[in-house]
Chains A and B, each alone.
Chain A
């Protein structure tokens, strides 16, 4: 045990050991210690599996998400599904949609594809842009830093939902909608991650081991790759774990407002748009997408908390807010 460790123990503060290359192993050990995170992780895995296997599952049921079944709804009563519990039965496991009679199970599992796919793609776009610009700002000269930081400030100041809403309106509808939604969310929502990466890179850059690498004679590129980027992994993964559930919510909200993923492609948010008028006649029409959305976001949030705690128990609380600049000033 090192001196710093002992000193910390003696002071009763419990500083964590410096993360090492054995970090991956420690990470899994700390993650496994959290039961809630494990359950959440299993749930996320299940959801991903369902989304991937959507065609298989619907084939098992013998339905697809887009076929209308006018015979299954009572047009005399405004399109209420015929049969108990909104038409649940052997053919339609979770019943059918009011008015159209489309199969709800099929729409739900295909909806998972859209939700998870869009959120994942948007997160990747956000991380790539955020890391690139954050590192560039931290390593560039004063003018590069000023320019990129001001630009980032402006992006952060633009409300994501509003900008996405407005942008989605003007792009021609010929563009594949889910890809478009992912791109728009990704292109607007990278501000905070860029700020965090810049702050972290600035901190790392000042560390003595980076100075030592320079004295060894290595060039900037090699130092960035070998000494800086590995130190960025933890905060980036942590913040990405926060972004993913948030992106799911944004996609659902945009689809709920009718500007996100458009019919006939199914999406959970879209399914909720008309659900409130049907809650008595077909409660599952409201409850299924709402429940799916809730569970997915909950599972991802709990998993994200777990990942954060496992990566860096002490910095966890600091990263939650994404105001690195101000905290920096305080410290």
Chain B
């Protein structure tokens, strides 16, 4: 068991190092911009004196590593910001203040996070169930009509971008058929039923393309596993086909699926940005697009880091699940 504990520790340290490295890269890339940050922040009509003042306020004259160090300090210990007239305290995981609204980025993210988490995790349930189910079914029904149909459907799914599926769903379901109202976010704690109904279309648009990818992977992984020697063993010992598929083939086939789920988490987050923008859901993605358009760097950096955090965590969790499923990974 100590081997497994050691593995967990190594994986955790690895995740932390990755996060730190991402923060350095993101910080450096965004703050060594070709454009003048003070000029952008202040706006096109600022006088040189005003720009100078903004630059002072943002400590833009300090070397980059000093500013990054302050940023890290703020993350760990919090920081005080003077906004000209008053001093604002930004507490522990401080990601700075928005250039535009002087709002704390951490606060801003916290208000938007529930929407995005609802969207991504709800969709994940759908894509896993739908994708893995379809994949298993089409591997099992290989060569029959079911498989051909499913293969065709998943191919269409893979080839349709999130925003195209979303647009079509919205127009057909909400516009033409009027089966559902145009989605408006309702908090889970406020009204779970409305929460689910309003998120149904966004979930589907985000999940369908991912489900298609999972169906393809699960199918090929199942087909590969079904040719392995130990499957032959159980067939040769009179174990029924259904038990062979359910107990032995599926278990082996799911390992790469877990890995893909982590790998695709990043792309799903990208899809969530599109979905939120399309359906007007007030989540991180929508806010990020807004911040990008007005070049609100602290917000952009903060959000990229938070999203990076979730992706890294998802990868670490997948690795651990993978190791639990297959202890040989730990030994390797």
Q: Which one of A163, A317, A330 lies within 8 Å of B304 (CB-CB)?
A: A163
Q: Is A310 an interface residue (CB 8 A)?
A: no
Chain A contacts for B170, CB-based, 8 A: 276
Q: Is A252 an interface residue (CB 8 A)?
A: yes
**Which A272-300 residues sit within 8 Å CB-CB of chain B?**
272, 275-276, 279-280, 286, 290, 293-294, 297-298
Q: Is A326 an interface residue (CB 8 A)?
A: yes
Closest CB of chain B to A116's CB: distance in Å?
15
Q: In this complex, what residue of A is CB-closest to B158?
A: A301
Is the beta-carbon distance between A161 and B329 smaller than 8 angstroms? no
* Top 9 A-B residue pairs of the complex, sorted by shortest distance between their CB atoms: A161-B270, A317-B220, A159-B266, A298-B159, A169-B292, A323-B259, A297-B159, A329-B332, A170-B33
Closest CB of chain A to B127's CB: distance in Å?
15
Is the beta-carbon distance between A154 and B161 smaller than 8 angstroms? no
Interface residues on B, range: 35 or more
Chain A contacts for B220, CB-based, 8 A: 316-317, 320
Known: A158-B266, A276-B167, A298-B159. A166 touches B260 (CB 8 A): no
Q: Is B98 an interface residue (CB 8 A)?
A: no
Q: Which one of A161, A293, A322 lies within 8 Å of B164 (CB-CB)?
A: A293
Is the beta-carbon distance between B263 and A294 smaller than 8 angstroms? no
Q: In this complex, what residue of B is CB-closest to A170?
A: B33
Is the beta-carbon distance between A257 and B289 smaller than 8 angstroms? yes
Closest CB of chain A to B294's CB: distance in Å?
9
Closest CB of chain B to A170's CB: distance in Å?
5
Known: A162-B288, A257-B277. A249 touches B227 (CB 8 A): no
Could you jot down 24 A-B contacts, CB within 8 Å?
A: A157-B308, A157-B312, A158-B25, A158-B308, A159-B307, A159-B311, A161-B267, A161-B269, A163-B304, A166-B300, A166-B301, A169-B293, A252-B161, A256-B163, A257-B274, A259-B289, A272-B163, A293-B164, A297-B159, A297-B161, A298-B155, A320-B217, A326-B329, A330-B329
Interface residues on A, range: 35 or more
Is the beta-carbon distance between B22 and A158 smaller than 8 angstroms? yes
Q: Is A13 an interface residue (CB 8 A)?
A: yes
A318 to B22, CA, bound (A): 29
Chain B contacts for A154, CB-based, 8 A: 18, 21-22, 25
Q: In this complex, what residue of A is CB-closest to B296?
A: A169
Q: Find the residue from B22, B29, B33, B266 having the highest chain A CB count within 10 A.
A: B266
Closest CB of chain A to B27's CB: distance in Å?
12
Q: Is A9 an interface residue (CB 8 A)?
A: no
Q: Is B156 an interface residue (CB 8 A)?
A: yes
A33 to B316, CA, bound (A): 42
Q: In this complex, what residue of B is CB-closest to A289?
A: B164
Q: Is B80 an interface residue (CB 8 A)?
A: no
A316 to B175, CA, bound (A): 42
Is the beta-carbon distance between B308 and A294 smaller than 8 angstroms? no
Closest CB of chain B to A165's CB: distance in Å?
6
A88 to B269, CA, bound (A): 39
Q: Is A264 an interface residue (CB 8 A)?
A: no
Is the beta-carbon distance between A159 and B269 smaller than 8 angstroms? yes
Is the beta-carbon distance between A159 and B292 smaller than 8 angstroms? no
Closest CB of chain A to B302's CB: distance in Å?
11
Q: Is A302 an interface residue (CB 8 A)?
A: yes
- 9 more CB-based (< 8 A) A-B contacts, given A157-B18, A163-B304, A294-B164: A165-B292, A169-B291, A170-B33, A249-B161, A297-B160, A297-B161, A321-B217, A323-B259, A329-B332
